[in-house]
Amino acid sequence: MRITRYFATCLLLVASAARAQQPDTIRSRSKADSIAKAVRDSVELMNALGAAVADTTQRPTVPLRPQGGSTNPRLLPDFSAVGDLVGDLSPKGSTQPDHSRLGVREVELSVQAVVDPYFRGDVFLGISDLEKISIEQAFLTTTSLPNQLELKIGRFLLPFGKQNLTHRHDLHAIEYPYVLQKLLSDDGLKGTGLWGSRVFAPFGFFQEIQLTAIDRISPATDGLTTAEDVNKSLGGLGFSARLRNYVDVSEAANVELSFSAMTGKRDQPLDATYTTLVKGGSNSQFVPRDVNATIARQSTFGVDFTYRWRPLQQGLYESFILQSEVMHQRNERNPALPVAECPFGAGTCGVPAYAGPARDYTGAYVFARYQTGQRRFIGARYDYVQNPETNGRTLNAGSVYLEWFPSEFTKLMAGYEGLKSADATLSNRLLLQAVFSMGPHKPHPF
């Protein structure tokens, strides 16, 4: 508000000074006229809107349904599109995966509707130059189960930790925290399967348990081939659990402390490519296959904490969020290895060595955001993660953000990040982001 006030004061001073000096110049008068006209227009807009209701001065007698019929007589689903544009002005070149300085990071299309008396449907498609088109989410949600139960079927953002459930373009930073990027996924970890949840409050505050069983805990890694499918046995499926605990501290402040865990199997590299005999085709024959990966269990545990403050009466202009997540990932050290076959079927020739992670990884972030005006926020984040891509050497980052919402449908962000990776060199990143969304007004995620 301060900036608006400042500009308004300046403008008023300038305007009154101008009038004092040259009270009758045509320019200042025409400017005043045009502004006064803008005000009249805004009043006229209201009146025009009001004219829709026939004769508002006469007070109607009780109408049964004065609004007439349905607002959506053809039962169309809600369509919307989100554009996520990122500019990378980092001094040593772009740090984006596609090396763009100015890029469209993603366009998200969504179709949402109540499907029938039992289900709601949500489909989100992600389109990007790198991934082309992908099914980000597509799930049914039950709407009529008893006992505060809810079931989702399909692909969804996995309920693990706090920020993973937020779409990347809805974050109050430009990218996910590094601990999510490195231990989960750089654009939100999704799972495909079943999600069951139940709300309960035995201690008087809100609690929710969210359980999932999903096809696998991570998508297949490019370039890795395993002898058997990761999910061949049911034990290879992924499972996750999350317990949410939410407490109102006061009318203005509240706290969420939640715990998450997930486990499943995924592909991990071998030290070389081997040929193994695997059961193939429908006739139960063993066929040779070039294999460079095996299957190992990976389990991740997380704790997340969010403190929010927003005084009800001043809530349009003032708020504060403090958020933190800690994650720990455990990796199986000695998974079963495929037995390599010699060429031309001469029996067993040797055993490949495991080249997957030989250690566990831990990471965390702390994020804070303060509202400085009706539509302006400043944020800062500190990141720490033992990076699996550099064999667990630590990555530290500190970043600050300016966030501005011209309206509820557009967001502009600027971010600076200082990043210290394994070799201890500091690199600077300067990012800009513009997000716009078209379509029906969606609820604001809490």
Partner 1 sequence: MIRRIHILLLAAALVYAPRVASAQLRVVTSTTDLYDIAKAVGGNKITATHIGEGYQDPHFIEAKPSFVLQLRSADVWAFVGLDLEIGWMPLLLEGARNTRIRQGGSGYLDVSTVIPVLDRPQGNIDRSMGDVHAGGNPHYWLDPQNGRRIARLFKTKFTQLDPTNSSAYDANARAFEARLNAAEKGWQADLAAIKGKPVVAWHTSWRYFAEYNGMNIVAFMEPKPGVPPSPSHLYGVIQTVKRTGAKAIIMEPFYDRKVADLVSKQTGIKILILPPSVGGIPGAVPDYFSLMRYDMSQLANAVR
Q: Identify residues 94-153 at the interface with partner 1 (CB under 8 A).
A: 114, 117, 120, 141, 143-146, 148-150
From the CB of 251, what's the least distance to partner 1, in Å? 8
Beta bridge partners of 22: none
Q: Identify residues 203-232 at the interface with partner 1 (CB under 8 A).
A: 205-206, 208
- The answer to the question of residue 250 lying near partner 1 (CB under 8 A) is no
Closer to partner 1 by Cβ: residue 301 or 409: 409
- The answer to the question of residue 65 lying near partner 1 (CB under 8 A) is yes
How far CA 245 is from CA of 156, 202, 210, 259, in Å, comes to 21, 11, 12, 9
Closer to partner 1 by Cβ: residue 409 or 416: 409
Those residues with Cβ within 8 angstroms of residue 181's Cβ, 6 or more apart along the chain or in another chain: 175
Residue 411 and residue 436: Cα distance in Å, rounded?
A: 6
- The answer to the question of residue 44 lying near partner 1 (CB under 8 A) is no
Q: DSSP character for 234? A: G
Closer to partner 1 by Cβ: residue 151 or 355: 151
Q: Residue 48 in 3-state DSSP?
A: helix
Closer to partner 1 by Cβ: residue 297 or 442: 442
The 260-299 contact track toward partner 1, x by CB under 8 A, reads ----------------------------------------
Q: Identify residues 169-208 at the interface with partner 1 (CB under 8 A).
A: 199, 201, 205-206, 208
- The answer to the question of residue 259 lying near partner 1 (CB under 8 A) is no
Closer to partner 1 by Cβ: residue 112 or 396: 112
Q: What is the 3-state secondary structure (H, E, C) of 124-156?
A: EEEEECCCEEEEEEEEEEECCCCCCEEEEEEEE
- The answer to the question of residue 313 lying near partner 1 (CB under 8 A) is yes
- The answer to the question of residue 254 lying near partner 1 (CB under 8 A) is yes
Q: Identify residues 373-412 at the interface with partner 1 (CB under 8 A).
A: 374-375, 407-409
Closer to partner 1 by Cβ: residue 315 or 398: 315
Q: What are phi and psi of 219, to 5 degrees?
A: -65, 160
- The answer to the question of residue 320 lying near partner 1 (CB under 8 A) is no
Residue 403: CB atoms within 10 A of its CB come to: 22
Structure-token match 């395993």, residue found: 226
Work out which of 57, 70, 250, 425 binds partner 1, going by CB under 8 A.
Answer: 57
- The answer to the question of residue 29 lying near partner 1 (CB under 8 A) is no
Q: What is the DSSP string of 356-384?
A: S--S-EEEEEEEEEEEEETTEEEEEEEEE
How many residues are recorded in the chain? 446
Residue 176 and residue 169: Cα distance in Å, rounded?
A: 10
- The answer to the question of residue 17 lying near partner 1 (CB under 8 A) is no
